[in-house]
Amino acid sequence: MYFYSMSKRILYYSIFFLTLFIVFYFLMTIFIPGFGKVGLPVLNKVQTFSFLDQNGERITNNNVEGKVYLAEFFFTTCPGICPKLNTNLRPVYDKYKNEPDFLILSHTVNPVTDSVGQLKHYADSLGVDARRWIFLTGKKDSLYLAARASYLLDDPKNNISPLDEQFIHTQYFALVDKKGQVRSIIDGLNKEELKEMQKQIDELLKEN
């Protein structure tokens, strides 16, 4: 009888404290935004960079500090996936073009052809705001280093061959937070990932 009474008491207290914990957790999620939510992981830190945009202005880490941005690598004369990628980026640009803390950075992988003037012509053809969608060119080794070492959009092992023989052609975007950290890699041809990407952008815009 004693053991039966003890078992009932233990069961009662267990249910009581479990209920208390559930109510406490529920209230915390209401009063503290983001409580209990697992955020996007930190995949990498973007290294220092310096490139020229379509207006010939120098763009560095300082220009994107405190902003959420998408990093893309493409080239203007690409007949394959690049037009599809930028078509898929257009709704993203349209949605966030008035958001001061969001940018798109499109880096050329073919700087020999994609001069400042060529990027200007390409950007103008899209009719986008140069302050919100920035097209970048520079030295090939610096661009490729950014793609591999910063944004994780190409395998560093591909750097073994001579630079003149290297060519990056990727369908992936990197999503970077306000602290210059890569938080997500997105397949730019996958509609479900693109849809999820917009939720991720909203999430990162809310972070301090």
Predicted confidence band at 17 (pLDDT cuts at 50, 70, 90)?
low
| Residue 40 or residue 8, greater confidence | 40
* Cβ 49 vs Cβ 146: under 8 Å: yes
Count of domains for the chain: 2
119/27 same-domain check: no
142/69 same-domain check: yes
Hey, is 146 helix, strand or coil? helix
Q: Amino acid letter at 80?
A: G
R_g of the chain computed on alpha carbons: 23
Give the pLDDT mean for 8-25.
60
44-45 and 58-60: which strand pairing? unpaired
33/78 same-domain check: no
Query: How far apart are the C-alpha atoms of 174 and 47, rounded to whole Å?
Result: 14
Alpha-carbon dihedral of residues 86, 128, 130, 196, nearest 10 degrees? -50
| Phi–psi pair at 201, nearest 5 degrees | -60, -45
Give the pLDDT mean for 59-74.
98
pLDDT above 80: residue 25? no
Predicted confidence band at 114 (pLDDT cuts at 50, 70, 90)?
very high
pLDDT above 70: residue 203? yes
Predicted confidence band at 19 (pLDDT cuts at 50, 70, 90)?
low
pLDDT above 50: residue 35? no
53/139 same-domain check: yes
Mean pLDDT, the chain, whole residue set: 88
Q: What is the DSSP string of 13-77?
A: HHHHHHHHHHHHHHHHHHHSTTTT---PPP-EEPPP-EEE-TTS-EEEHHHHTT-EEEEEEE-TT
Return the pLDDT at 23: 58
| Phi–psi pair at 44, nearest 5 degrees | -170, 165
| Lowest-pLDDT choice from 12-21, 106-115, 118-127, 188-197 | 12-21
Return the pLDDT at 14: 65
Predicted confidence band at 36 (pLDDT cuts at 50, 70, 90)?
very low
For residue range 116-171, list pLDDT tens digits in order: 999 999 999 999 999 999 999 999 999 999 999 999 999 877 778 888 889 899 99
Hey, is 94 helix, strand or coil? helix
162/190 same-domain check: yes
Closest CA to 188 of 84, 94, 53, 90: 84
25/66 same-domain check: no
Query: How far apart are the C-alpha atoms of 164 and 16, rounded to whole Å?
Result: 70
pLDDT above 60: residue 31? no
125/171 same-domain check: yes
Domain of residue 101, residue span: 44-206
| Phi–psi pair at 187, nearest 5 degrees | -75, 110
15/87 same-domain check: no
Q: How big is the chain, counted in residues? A: 208
186/90 same-domain check: yes
pLDDT above 80: residue 68? yes
22/113 same-domain check: no
55/95 same-domain check: yes
